[in-house]
Every structure is written in C-alpha cells, then in structure tokens.
Amino acid sequence: MSEDVNSSTSEPDMFSDYSDISSMDYSGNLLVILTVFHFKRLKTMTDVYLLNLSFADLLFALSLPFWAANSMAEWVLGQLVCKSMHTIYKVSFYSSMLFLCLISIDRYFAIAKAISSHRHRTEAAFYSKVSSTVVWVMALIFSIPEMAYANFSNNTCSLSNQNNTQLKVGIQASQIALAFILPLLVMGFCYASIIKTLCQARNFERNKAIKVILAVVTVFLISQVPYNIVLFLSTTVTASGGTEDCNYDITLMLATDATQGLAFFRCCLNPFVYAFIGVKFRLDLLKLLKEFGCMSQEKFYRYTYARRKSSGANDTETTTTFSP
C-alpha cells in the first residue's frame, strides 16, 4: 500500500478541487499581461520579469484542468497531450520560482546597490531579456525527467517506472532544492539586504516599502513551506522503501493534497503582490478599466486624486513598492 500512496505524492494527482484556482489565475495574470502590452510597460528589468512571471503562472493554470480531468476520469487525450501536460506543468512551475528569484535580485541591485546599478540602466533591457531566456531554458532542462517518463498507460497519464525508487526520489529532491531552497535563500538574502538599506534611509516612505517586502516574503513562506515539508517527508518515506503504517500513508497523502492546493494558490496571488501593489502599475490598470468602459471618469479621478492626496507629492513606485 505504501508504494501506491507514495507514488501519488511525487506528482500532482489530486487536482479535482483546483478549478477555482485556475480561473482566478487566468484573470489576474491576463490583466497583468494586457496592462503591460497596452501601455508598453517594458522599460525596466522588473517589468520584463513580471511579464514572464505572469506567462509562467498562466501556463501553470492552463495545465490544472488537465490534471483535474486525469484525476476524475480515464485519460482519453493520448500520449502526446499526456507528455505535454507534465512538461508544461514543470516548466511553468520551475520558471515561476526562478523569476521570483530574478525579481528579488533586481530589487537588491536597484536599492541596496543603487549607485552601481544606475550605471547599467541602459543595458537593463538587454540583460533582462537574456536572463529571462536563460530561465526558460533552465526550466525546460529541469523538466526533462517529466518529458522522458510521462506515459499514457492503463487509462491514466502518469510518470512511468513508478517502481523506480531512485527516479522518484531524484525528481522530488530536485524540486525541493531548485523550486524551494534556492528561491528561499536568494529571496532571503536580497530582501534582508533591502530592508537593511531602507532602515538606514530617512525617506518617509520606507515603512511602506518594508511592509510590501514583508508581504512578498510572507506569501512565499505561507504558500510554499507547508507543501515542501510534506514533500520532504514523502521523499524520505520513498527513499527508505516505504512504510507499513497505512494510517501514516493516508495522512501523508491528504496532507499533500491540502498543502499542494495552498502552494498552487501562490500563482493567483503573484499578480497582486508583485504587480498591482505597485503605484504606477495600479494606475495603469485603472486607466485600462476606464478605457474599456469598466470604470467611469468620475470614479477614476476620485480614486487617483485621493491616492495622490494621501500619499503626498513624493509618492513614487520606488519608495512605496521597491519597484521602478
């Protein structure tokens, strides 16, 4: 029994409850993409990374209905779609985490190393496009096991060679290392350095910037720590050859499903934490809603005027949201 249960914890098998997450992710990330292209907001490295992050989260959401279908009924879409589903899921998952790292690194240089980074502002667009391409290539490389071992058999789409303990442990361990520990270390160092720099500044907006950073880190920790703890326990059980305790297996499987849903909810929150919370980006969104007839001129003026009045003349996106 332990082998059957543990094999399900190595990949997303229980997606039947994630349709709401998928629809929420579509709307938020589509708004980011539409706003960026409509106002041509690709002037900074963070703008480019936010756009790529939205594409990654959108791809991730597109794979969720297929996982739900595979969990609830027999797989009827064939081998090609099966492999594509696994590949898209992993590529989008890894790329999303890596773009979170790049955003934190960019903010680190823009704030903690402001003088040196200002010298390279002209090359920022080039660097951002090159680094974004590297991220997508790395995510594709990390997803090779999914492409190689995803297989349609016995009316279900899953990773083949489920009895290969070394394969399962390797896939799960690499996910923990590359999609959790690495982003955690990078974001921890960068945001700690940023907070240290802001605390030394005398800008009246620094408290707002620190609150935004804490919100970013809190969302990441709450959404990712529980799932990766359960994934680590599952990996340990798999590496040890399983367990004879059926109750522990069932508890681990249920914990995986619960924490997995929480981890996936992160892709819905990314647009609000990283994009819409920014002053300029939020203003662009309001302009977009006004142009599409979703907001009256009176409401638009009332909101933007109240925002400027409460924030003061020096309210900039850099000081309030550490985003250029």
185-243 tens-digit pLDDT:
999 999 999 988 888 876 656 677 777 788 888 889 999 999 999 999 999 988 887 77
Model pLDDT, residue 130: 93
pLDDT recorded at residue 239: 86
Whole-angstrom distance, CA of residue 70 vs CA of residue 158: 9
Two tokens at 285? Answer: 């969104």
pLDDT of residue 5: 41
pLDDT at 145: 85
Instruction: Spell out, as residue ranges, where the chain has pLDDT lower than 50.
Output: 1-19, 312-324
- For residue 285, what pLDDT is reported? 75
Which neighbouring-strand residues pair with 153? 156
pLDDT for the residue numbered 68: 75
Q: What letter represents residue 91's amino acid? A: V
- CATH of range 2-321; options 3.40.50.720, 1.10.10.10, 1.20.1070.10, 3.40.50.1100: 1.20.1070.10
**Domain boundaries, given as residue ranges, for the chain:** 2-321
Any bridge partners for residue 152, and if so which? 157
pLDDT tens digits, one per residue of 114-145: 776 666 667 777 889 999 999 999 999 999 98
Contact 268, 21 (CB under 8 A): yes
- What confidence score (pLDDT) does residue 284 get? 76
pLDDT at 172: 87
pLDDT of residue 323: 46
